[in-house]
Structures are given as structure tokens and as C-alpha cells.
């Protein structure tokens, strides 16, 4: 594991070798030469390579491999039609220049945990599945968790078909180019109804476990979060000849909105980030005609989140009046607060055999989307940098292996009672 700090502590799970091998094999996929981090975007070549890896691991173990109507990949041990299936997994796609762990840790650990159970000789009494949900990060089409949202009926096929990437390629076109059928997408409620429990293991996206000194924790809740597109309409003009007082410069209004977002979020104890921006015409010597900024905002409760976004919109609009810039705001996605089912959460925590931290998170997950239809829980693995959505995201090798053991214990407790 080239970017995992190796410091073996305690007995390694018997799935350790397979974890390390799989990790090594997946590590170069989607890491272009010269790029700062991973670029595993939905329906790209890197995504296809990740998918081929998943299929290979499933078939090498003799699991039944399946791709659902929305392009999510499944590997079954036992017959899912029997129902009450225990499912684990996560996603393999990444944000732009993302880290190695967000997503893949959950999928690699899932295969390794089942290897561990086989090595223990555990007899499964419930079918078990591993899933790779498609397009979790929404890096390409702007909407997160497209695969799980479609499956859960939280995104209509019509709305999904309208999604476009930065080059104007539609989601159906991208799926088609990748060899998938976009006409098939839609709710998959029967499949979800067969799932008795979904447990997603994920790297922690913060430092709570590092501070508490625990390699593994359990999720309590996911903060409500959403994405809003702010369009600032100004007037294109010459950067060298237009007097400052004659300008209608949308970049100025946008800059003020960024500062307002920071201030409003700070005052409310929330989070607000403009992390993506597009400028037209995007010339060094031209005042822009349009600046488009995407706001990601999150808070502990939905009322606070709504209030913060409204305040940012008001501040941007007011400033727009002064700058002669029109501001329009479009909500592109919203995910309500998720409180993980207490019974499963407590059961999972008990199966770990020792007290572990129970943590909320501001990060979105497929587990959060599924939690509306399926009993769902999450395990977090310590991340000493606390950094995520960046190549600085890291988990030590012994913590990854502790995660494999924890997931194996949980799957064993659920599927081999």
C-alpha cells in the first residue's frame, strides 16, 4: 500500500492478504500521470476499469455478478431472491482529484470481509451481497448518489436524463458510450425490498476517531445537505477601457457571495462552500458576462440549512442590485437529514464487541439514500489527517485491516446468527 502508513498492530484478519492485494491492484486505476489525485468519473474509462475490477473480484470468488438497470454492480453470495439479504459495499467513483479511500475502502473491505468469513469457516444463513453504487460523488453530472437515488425512486428517470456534464454530454449518452442502456434506468424497489440490512464501511471524513483514539466507529446521522447553482448575470466588456463605475461585473458579486456564504455559515454553525465556478466568456482581458458558482451547504438540521442558504441568496441579490448584476438561484439537489435506524446501529455497535464512538457526519453517502427504504448502518475507519475529497485523505494499513475485521464481525453477526 504505497500511500497507506504501514504499522501493523494486533492480529491481522485472515482477509488481510486479499485486502492488501486488491488495494494494490486498484490503486493505479484512475490516477492519471500528472494529476493531483483520482479522476474516476461516472461512465469514464477509469470508471470502466473500476467496474471491470469489481466484476473480476466477484467472478473470481464464484459470486453471482449482476448489473442492475441503473448501472449499479452487485455480487451475490447465496440467492438474493430469498430475501432478507445482508448487503455491504460503497462506491468506486471519485471527486475531481480525490483520494484513494473515499468509496473504494468500503468496496475492497467488503470483498476482504467475506474472504475473512470464509477463512473463519462461518456458515452464512442469509444471502449476502456486495454493491458498487454508480456515480456517488456526482463529479461529472453535478448530482450525487445518482445510482442509489434512481434505485430508491428518489430521482426520476426523466430528471436523470436531463443531466449534462461540463462538455454538454447527457447522462444517457455517457451511459450508452460506456455500453449501458439509459432507457432502462428507473426505480428498483423490488431489489431494495430484498435487502434486510445495508452496512456501508467508509473512511471517516473528519478527525473524531483520531481524537478519540479509535480505529473504527459507527455512524449516527448524516447532516442534511444540498447543492445550489448561483447564476450572476452581468455585462461583458473590455477590461482595459471600461471605467470601474460603468461595469456590471458578475465576478465582483460572486466574490461577495463567497464571503457572505462563509460568514452566514460561521454564524449559524453550518457549512457553506463555493467549490466550483464557471465563467463566460472566461477571458483574461474581459469583464465576464456570466459567473456561475455552485454552493454546497450543510447543517445539523434542515431549518438551519434553509436559513443559511436563504441568507446567502439575500446577500448575493442585494449585492447584485448594487453591482447591476442579476442573480438567480436554482436548487440542484437536496438530501434531508438521515438518522440511521437505532436498532441496527446499536446491533452493529454491539457486534463490534467493544464500545466504539457513534458519530454524525456532514458527508453524503449511498447509505443515507438507502436509509429511506432499507435498514442501514455505517462503519467509519480512522483518518488521521481528517482530510477527504483530496489526495491527502489517508488511513493507516492497520486501521484498514481493523475495518475489515469490524465489517467481518458485523456481517457474521447479521448473516450467521
Q: Which chain residues interact with Mn ion by CB under 5 A?
A: 102-103
Contact partner at residue 103 from ligand GLV, Mn ion, none, CB < 5 to 8 Å by partner kind: Mn ion
Exposure class string for 237-256: b at 16+ Cβ within 10 A, else e: beeeebeeeebbbbbbbbbb
Contact partner at residue 209 from ligand GLV, Mn ion, none, CB < 5 to 8 Å by partner kind: none
Contact partner at residue 364 from Mn ion, ligand GLV, none, CB < 5 to 8 Å by partner kind: ligand GLV
Q: Tally the C-alpha atoms within 13 A of residue 281's C-alpha that lie toward its C-beta.
A: 10
Residue 137 is a binding residue for ligand GLV (CB under 6 A)? yes
Residue 381 and residue 402 in contact, taking contact as beta carbons nearer than 8 Å? yes
Residue 37 is a binding residue for ligand GLV (CB under 6 A)? no
Peptide bond into 49 cis (omega under 30): no
Q: How many whole angstroms separate alpha carbon 57 and alpha carbon 185? A: 25
Contact partner at residue 144 from ligand GLV, Mn ion, none, CB < 5 to 8 Å by partner kind: ligand GLV
Contact partner at residue 37 from ligand GLV, Mn ion, none, CB < 5 to 8 Å by partner kind: none
* Distance in Å, CB of 144 to ligand GLV, minimum: 5
Q: Contacts with ligand GLV in 58-87 (CB under 6 A)?
A: none
Residue 105 is a binding residue for ligand GLV (CB under 6 A)? no
Which residue's C-beta sits nearest to Mn ion?
A: 102
Which residue's C-beta sits nearest to ligand GLV?
A: 364
Pairing of β 216-222 and β 64-67: unpaired
First to last CA, the chain: 34
Q: How many whole angstroms separate alpha carbon 201 and alpha carbon 404? A: 9
Q: CA separation (Å) from 355 to 214, 218, 383, 417?
A: 10, 10, 19, 21
Contact partner at residue 311 from Mn ion, ligand GLV, none, CB < 5 to 8 Å by partner kind: none
Residue 363 is a binding residue for ligand GLV (CB under 6 A)? yes
| Residue closer to ligand GLV (CB basis): 144 or 401 | 144
Place of cell 473500476: 50
Q: Contacts with ligand GLV in 142-161 (CB under 6 A)?
A: 144
Q: How many whole angstroms separate alpha carbon 349 and alpha carbon 343? A: 10
* Distance in Å, CB of 90 to ligand GLV, minimum: 11
Q: How many whole angstroms separate alpha carbon 31 and alpha carbon 100? A: 9
- How many other C-beta atoms lie within 10 A of the C-beta of residue 89? 28
Q: 202: helix, coil or strand? A: strand
| Residue closer to Mn ion (CB basis): 324 or 391 | 391
| Residue closer to ligand GLV (CB basis): 144 or 257 | 144
Query: x/- binding map, residues 274-293, to ligand GLV, per CB under 6 A?
Result: --------------------
* Distance in Å, CB of 113 to Mn ion, minimum: 18
Contact partner at residue 131 from ligand GLV, Mn ion, none, CB < 5 to 8 Å by partner kind: none
* Distance in Å, CB of 151 to ligand GLV, minimum: 17
> Any long-range contacts for 310-315 (C-beta under 8 Å, 24+ apart)?
311/260, 311/264, 311/268, 312/257, 312/260, 312/261, 312/264, 312/272, 313/228, 313/230, 315/256, 315/257, 315/260, 315/264
- Interacting residue ranges for ligand GLV, rule: CB under 6 A: 137, 144, 363-364
Amino acid at each position: 500500500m504505497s500511500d497507506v502508513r504501514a504499522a501493523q498492530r494486533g492480529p491481522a484478519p485472515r482477509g488481510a492478504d486479499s485486502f492488501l492485494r486488491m488495494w494494490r491492484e486498484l490503486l493505479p486505476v484512475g490516477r492519471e500521470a500528472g494529476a493531483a489525485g483520482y479522476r474516476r468519473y461516472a461512465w469514464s474509462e477509469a470508471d470502466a476499469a473500476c467496474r471491470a475490477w469489481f466484476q473480476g473480484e466477484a467472478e473470481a470468488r464464484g459470486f453471482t455478478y449482476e448489473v442492475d438497470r441503473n448501472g449499479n454492480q452487485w455480487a451475490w453470495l447465496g440467492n438474493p431472491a430469498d430475501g432478507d439479504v445482508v448487503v455491504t459495499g460503497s462506491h468506486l467513483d471519485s471527486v475531481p482529484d480525490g483520494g484513494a479511500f473515499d468509496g473504494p475502502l468500503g468496496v475492497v473491505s467488503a470483498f476482504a470481509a467475506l474472504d475473512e468469513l470464509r477463512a473463519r469457516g462461518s456458515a452464512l444463513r442469509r444471502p449476502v451481497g456486495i454493491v458498487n453504487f454508480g456515480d456517488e460523488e456526482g463529479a461529472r453530472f453535478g448530482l450525487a448518489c445518482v445510482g442509489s437515488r434512481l434505485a430508491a425512486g428518489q430521482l426520476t428517470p426523466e430528471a436523470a436524463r436531463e443531466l449534462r456534464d461540463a462538455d454538454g454530454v447527457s447522462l444517457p449518452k455517457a451511459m450508452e458510450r460506456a455500453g449501458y442502456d439509459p432507457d432502462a434506468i428507473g426505480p428498483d424497489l423490488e431489489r431494495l425490498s430484498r435487502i434486510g440490512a445495508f452496512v456501508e464501511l467508509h473512511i471517516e471524513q473528519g478527525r473524531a476517531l483520531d481524537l478519540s483514539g479509535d480505529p473504527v466507529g459507527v455512524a449516527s446521522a448524516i447532516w442534511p445537505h444540498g447543492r445550489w447553482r448561483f447564476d450572476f448575470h452581468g455585462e461583458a466588456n473590455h477590461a482595459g477601457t471600461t471605467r470601474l463605475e460603468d461595469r456590471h461585473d458578475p465576478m465582483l458579486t460572486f466574490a461577495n457571495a463567497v464571503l457572505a456564504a462563509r460568514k452566514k455559515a460561521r454564524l449559524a454553525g453550518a457549512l457553506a462552500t463555493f467549490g466550483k465556478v464557471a465563467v463566460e466568456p472566461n477571458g483574461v482581458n474581459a469583464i465576464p458576462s456570466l459567473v456561475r458558482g455552485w454552493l454546497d451547504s450543510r447543517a445539523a438540521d434542515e431549518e438551519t440549512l434553509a436559513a443559511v442558504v436563504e441568507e446567502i441568496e439575500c446577500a448575493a441579490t442585494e449585492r447584485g442590485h448594487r453591482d447591476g448584476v442579476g442573480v438567480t438561484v436554482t436548487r440542484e439537489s437536496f438530501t434531508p437529514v438521515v438518522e440511521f435506524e437505532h436498532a441496527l446501529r446499536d446491533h452493529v455497535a454491539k457486534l463490534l464487541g467493544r464500545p466504539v464512538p457513534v458519530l454524525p457526519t456532514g458527508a453524503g453517502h449511498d447509505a443515507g439514500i438507502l436509509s429511506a427504504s432499507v435498514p442501514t448502518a455505517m462503519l467509519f475507519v480512522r483518518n488521521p489527517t481528517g482530510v477527504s475529497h483530496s489526495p491527502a485523505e489517508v488511513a493507516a494499513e492497520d486501521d484498514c485491516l481493523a475495518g475489515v475485521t469490524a465489517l467481518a464481525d458485523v456481517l457474521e453477526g447479521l448473516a450467521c446468527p
